[in-house]
Amino acid sequence: MLKLLAIIPIAYIVIFLLAPVSYIAAITLRDIGSSLNYIYIKIPPDGEIYRLYYLVDYRIIAFTGYDFGPIANTLILAMLVSVTVTSLSLVTAITSLSLKGYTRTLIGYVIPAIASIPTPLLSAYAIIHLFHRDFGLINKVIDLILGFRLSFEGIIGVYLYQVLSFFPIAHLVMIIYIESIDRSYIESAYNLGGRSVNILSKIIIPLSKPSVIAVASLVFILSAEDLAGPLAFSRYNSARNVMSYMAYYDFISEYGYTISLRAIVYTTLLALIAIVLFLVSWRSIRLSYYPVLTPRRLYLELPSHIKFPLATVTLFITIFSAMPTIIVILYSITSGWFGREYPSSLTLSNYLIALSNSYYFRAALNTIIYTILASIMALTLSYMSVYSSFRVKSLLSPVADIVTIIPIVIPGIAVGIGYFSLYHSLFNGIHLLDPFFNPAIYLVLAYTARRITYSTRPLVASIRGIPMSLEEQAENMGARIHHILRTIIAPMTLRSALVASIIISMHIATEFSVSVVLAGGYGVSASHPAPLVPVIVNSLTYNPGSLHVMSSLLIITLALSVILTVIITTISIAIISGLRAFGVIRVILGRV
């Protein structure tokens, strides 16, 4: 029984994550001669960093960026985004911890939490809207102050989108980790007369090294695998010329016929880069738990002449990072905003259109079903993995822990193409099991494998906090492992399980790369199996003005997915642990 707790999650990750990715890697090695043709760098590069335009009413500095080819573009972009986001998040996290009261909570937690709500592709359109050279609100302000406008295009536009998208999560990871530092170190330093700057440079920043390494590595991987940014800015060559976009374009262009070797090669390279980074930084990633909003009130003193400018910059950065999410919410309740400076009217009709259209309604229903199934499966596997890792002495225990961290670094585009390549070849002709004809099964399996890390991390912190004496007493009284899991572990981890269900359901409902690869080729019908994301991509590609309806559809689907997942998770744990409604409420409120 105890060994099964470790074997099941290990087997699941191996079969439904590592095997598909290994399959496309084997194809690359098999055709190594032809594969090398796609590995090149453009020297000198195409394009230019910026260009100055003099128009009738205003001047524009248009930033586009150089084009070094798919591999170099991907690596340079990922490195720049990683350095920028890591640096900003370290500064904003430290500054937030120097604040007090509601200001600290708002800047340090609330605004970044709002900004971290995933709004795939729509947030990229919001950024384009804010900086549009003709009607962008931010450009209007810049023009009034500086006398010229800024335009972020091509790969520079992708850079801006990725920095704003990845900063909120990086900030939350960083601030939660810094607040976990033993306060006695800081108090002792202050008692010995240490200055704030010295304490930061000699205690806080050195002890924050694991979170810095984890954030830098994860952001690098997220940037390299990102597909939403290149799709949004795909009118420019440099934005299209990254490995994720090239792999997706080749795959979807030949969907159902063959799989381009170039797509295989680039997805293999993305997976290889991710695995190398994981091997270098997995210990740091393991220590940096996914953020749970429970501030521990660690206070860092900063000199007033440093604190005020840093607080001002931090406030600006956090609000700026939240603007795309806020704009998407505003899209859902307005009309006529596309291509204009201001919306023409406030309306709730977007929600009615989203619900009344059978194609959109089907996408929302599919997403909710897939999200609930994958979330429950991921939570179940997480309980098995976490308990076997931290409560069972076995050779498989550390392996069970590691395999739940690996999925966060495996690129979604590699998982999607790997799934299609492997299982289409295995079950070709069997429509029920062929991902070309029935992607629903593989979407749920892939979502579970891809997002299990998000459900595992909160449970790790929770189970570590349960006294071992409770389980030892239960064992002494003759309780078996399933009784211990049911009567001790399940009820005492309910709050963490609910946090995990919120996090994982949000990310599953908005999973981008896997969704567009496995279900992006389906046309308009009332019975299609596609989830929400491919529908958003197709709608915005052919009708950008549909962003109002797509925003409302996303908000409805995301809200229902999270709410229903949390309700089902609560009911399931209550039934398993024997808790009644009143007992569940007391556990959630932390009164037991």
pLDDT recorded at residue 468:
80
* pLDDT score, position 575: 82
Bridge partners, residue 53, by sequence: 60
Q: Look at domain 40-347 and name its CATH class.
A: mainly alpha
Lowest mean pLDDT among 160-164, 234-238, 503-507, 579-583: 579-583
User: Span 2-31+352-588: which CATH code?
Assistant: 1.10.3720.10
With b for 16 or more beta-carbon neighbours within 10 A and e for fewer, the 365-404 pattern comes to ebbbbbbbbbbbbbbbbbbbbbbbbbbbeeebbebbbbbb
Which residues are CB-contacts of 462 (< 8 A; sequence separation ≥ 6)? 492, 493, 495, 496, 497
- Per-residue pLDDT tens over the stretch 133-172: 888 888 888 888 888 888 899 999 999 999 999 999 999 9
- pTM of this prediction? 0.91
> Looking at residues 289-316, what average pLDDT do you find?
74
pLDDT digits (tens, 9 = 90+) for 413-432: 999 999 999 999 999 888 88
Question: Hunting for tokens 């859902």 — which residue is that?
Answer: 332
In the chain, % of residues over pLDDT 70? 94
Q: Evaluate the CA torsion angle 552, 556, 559, 561 in order and state its sign.
A: negative
Contact 155, 580 (CB under 8 A): no
From the CB of residue 345, how many other CB atoms can be counted at a distance below 10 Å?
A: 10
Q: What are phi and psi of 46, to 5 degrees?
A: -80, 165
CB 149 within 8 A of CB 133: yes
- Three-class secondary structure of residue 21 per DSSP: helix
Element (H, E) at 404: none
| pLDDT score of 370 | 97
Residue 396, SS3? coil
Among 54-58, 527-531, 578-582, the range of highest mean pLDDT: 527-531
Residue 380's nearest CA partner among 492, 490, 508 is: 490
| Mean of the per-residue pLDDT values of the chain | 87
What pLDDT does 591 receive?
Answer: 47
The domain limits of the chain are 2-31+352-588, 40-347
Domains 2-31+352-588 and 40-347 share a fold: yes
